[in-house]
């Protein structure tokens, strides 16, 4: 387990608004990770970015310390100035071995989330891992780690009340939106068709909102969400040309710079002067600060949900105890599985070597004696050798596992 390393930047050490500077554009992500994987001699790697964390998970024999982390982040070419680089490095938390696994398990169970009990984080981790796997960045080791992550999270959500009446960032945002008492026919512009916006759209649809227009960089995804909502769909580039007005903007994209600038906001208003509502769940925010300075806006963002999240943590404290017990059990189980896997990998060549010995014995060493046997005797000999071959393969593997695992 010593090769498992995690470099984490989270809401606990960094302001959410600043955390967004560490988000890597999805279009460049795989190429950048492939490059640093080779550059730093990292065996396996994947990257996770959510509304309150940026995490790099890796399998490497390299010593991952602050100098390593600083070079690693610098090589990703995020455009950080020396001031921000120093700030982020001071706030970075590096985990190794069991501590790294513990952090991943706690994260998957939402124990490290802004809102304890939200289930979205598990789906986000799985998606991040799958992107890494599809990009050729991960292998057998992180596959095992992810199996443990998923199993642990499912057990926590099943066997504790940590997610009972869940209060996720999305549901908290909807509650604030609901407090504004908007009409169900309010004009809702949805910018981004990712998981967060899909989830908040479900809340709106459930409560009879029906007037939706979806904008997304990938038009196919916009159309899919719009079809679910009975709305219209456009590419993100069409946002600047939209002239039908709005009452609510819900935005959550992976853009690294603000999408909703004062100029775009004024264009979307199309002459209307009343107070509008913007729900911005992106990190960094999709909404430029100048929009809030220049226009009357009811602004709902992840950062504003912090106090509610703290109360949520207090209410669920007892469930944290139960969840942590499940994590401890799964860490012990993973340690055992890892040892077994090491034995399996080490013993992979045994069957091939046994077959080579068998072939040499029958076709070279004892070839004359074997050819002198009648058909029935050859069949008996074949059965005996096949039986011995299976035993010579299985028995050493069983004994090796027992020695490694139990020490006897």
**Is the whole-model pTM more than 0.75?**
no
> Measuring CA to CA, which residue among 239, 206, 224, 199 is closest to residue 115?
199
Examine the pLDDT at 394 and tell me if it is beyond 80. Answer: no
Cβ-based burial of 303 (10 A; exposed 0-12, middle 13-18, buried ≥19): middle
What local confidence, expressed as pLDDT, does residue 309 receive? 62
Number of neighbours of residue 237 by Cβ within 10 angstroms: 10
Question: What pLDDT does 30 receive?
Answer: 93
Give the count of alpha carbons within 13 A of 147, CB side only. 11
Mean pLDDT (whole number) for 310-329: 81
CA 276/CA 25 separation, integer angstroms:
29
267 has pLDDT over 60: yes
Which is higher by pLDDT, 118 or 135?
135
With bands split at pLDDT 50, 70 and 90, how would you rate the model's confidence at 406?
low
What length is written for the chain? 408
Check: CB of residue 33 under 8 Å from CB of residue 47: yes
* pLDDT attached to residue 269: 96
pLDDT tens digits, 192-240:
998 889 989 988 988 889 999 999 999 999 999 999 999 999 999 999 9
pLDDT reported for residue 136? 95
- In 160-269, DSSP assigns E strands to 188-191, 212-216, 232-235, 248-251
Judge contact between 100 and 6, C-beta under 8 A: yes
CA distances (Å), 266 to each of 189, 262, 276, in order? 14, 6, 12
Q: Is the pLDDT of residue 191 over 90?
A: yes
- Per residue in 62-88, pLDDT tens? 999 999 999 999 999 888 888 888 989
* pLDDT band at 403; cut points 50, 70, 90: low
Q: Give Cα 250 distance to the centre of its chain.
A: 23
Asked if 213 and 190 count as a contact pair (C-beta separation under 8 A), the reply is: yes
Strand, coil or helix: what is 354?
helix
Provide the pLDDT confidence category of residue 312 given band limits of 50, 70 and 90.
Answer: low
* Angle at which helices 317-346 and 375-406 cross, to 10°: 140
Exposure on the CB side of residue 8, measured as CA atoms within 13 A: 23
- Cα separations in angstroms, 82 against 8, 70, 79, 257, 290: 19, 11, 10, 19, 25
Better-predicted residue by pLDDT, 144 or 318: 144
pLDDT, averaged across the chain: 88
pLDDT 10s digits, 347-369: 777 777 888 888 898 889 898 88
pLDDT tens-place string over residues 269-282: 999 999 999 999 98
Please report which residue ranges of 109-164 form alpha helices under DSSP H. Answer: 120-134, 140-159
Q: Are 156 and 319 in contact (CB under 8 A)?
A: no
- The percent of residues in the chain predicted with pLDDT above 90, rounded, is 55
In the predicted structure, residue 292 carries a pLDDT above the cut 90: yes
For residue 291, pLDDT over 80 is answered with yes
Q: Span 176-200, mean pLDDT?
A: 91
Residue 170 — pLDDT band, cuts 50, 70, 90? Answer: confident
Please tell me the predicted confidence (pLDDT) of residue 266.
96
Query: What's the pLDDT at 404?
Result: 59
| Positive or negative: CA dihedral 337, 339, 343, 346 | positive
Q: Are 234 and 219 in contact (CB under 8 A)?
A: yes
What confidence category does residue 40 fall into, taking pLDDT thresholds of 50, 70 and 90? very high
Element at 58 (helix H, strand E): strand 53-59
- Report the DSSP beta bridge partners of residue 375: none
Q: What angle, rounded to 10 degrees, do the helices at 66-75 and 26-39 form?
A: 130
């Amino acid at each position: 387990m010593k090769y498992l390393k995690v470099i984490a930047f989270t809401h606990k050490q960094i302001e959410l608004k600043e955390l967004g500077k560490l988000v890597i554009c999805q279009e460049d992500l795989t190429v950048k990770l492939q490059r640093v994987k080779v550059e730093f001699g990292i065996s396996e790697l994947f990257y996770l970015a959510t509304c309150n964390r940026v995490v790099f998970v890796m399998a490497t024999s390299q010593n991952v310390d602050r100098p390593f982390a600083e070079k690693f982040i610098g090589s990703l070419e995020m455009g950080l100035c020396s001031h921000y680089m120093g700030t982020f490095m001071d706030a970075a938390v590096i985990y190794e071995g069991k501590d790294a696994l513990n952090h991943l398990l706690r994260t998957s169970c939402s124990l490290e989330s802004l809102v304890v009990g939200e289930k979205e984080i598990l789906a986000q981790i799985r998606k991040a891992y799958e992107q890494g796997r599809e990009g050729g960045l991960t292998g057998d080791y992180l596959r095992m780690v992810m199996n443990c992550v998923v199993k642990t999270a499912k057990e926590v959500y099943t066997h504790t009340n940590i997610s009972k009446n869940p209060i996720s960032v999305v549901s908290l945002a909807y509650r604030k939106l609901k407090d504004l008492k908007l009409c169900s026919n309010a004009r809702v512009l949805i910018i981004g068709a990712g998981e967060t916006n899909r989830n908040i759209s479900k809340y709106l649809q459930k409560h009879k909102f029906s007037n939706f227009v979806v904008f997304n960089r990938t038009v196919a995804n916009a159309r899919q969400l719009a079809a679910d909502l009975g709305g219209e769909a456009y590419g993100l580039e069409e946002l600047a040309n939209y002239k039908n007005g709005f009452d609510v903007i819900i935005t959550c994209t992976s853009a690294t710079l603000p999408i909703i600038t004062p100029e775009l906001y004024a264009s979307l208003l199309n002459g209307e002067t009343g107070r509008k509502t913007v729900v911005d769940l992106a990190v960094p925010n999709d909404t430029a600060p100048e929009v809030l300075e220049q226009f009357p806006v009811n602004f709902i963002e992840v950062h504003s949900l912090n106090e509610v999240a703290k109360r949520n943590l207090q209410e669920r404290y007892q469930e944290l105890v139960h969840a942590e017990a499940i994590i401890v059990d799964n860490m012990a189980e993973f340690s055992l599985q890892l040892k077994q896997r090491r034995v399996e990998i080490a013993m992979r060549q045994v069957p091939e070597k046994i077959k080579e010995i068998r072939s040499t014995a029958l076709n070279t060493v004892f070839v004359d004696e074997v050819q002198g046997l009648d058909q029935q005797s050859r069949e008996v000999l074949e059965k005996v050798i096949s039986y011995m071959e299976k035993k010579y393969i299985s028995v050493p593997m069983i004994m090796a596992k027992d020695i490694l695992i139990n020490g006897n």
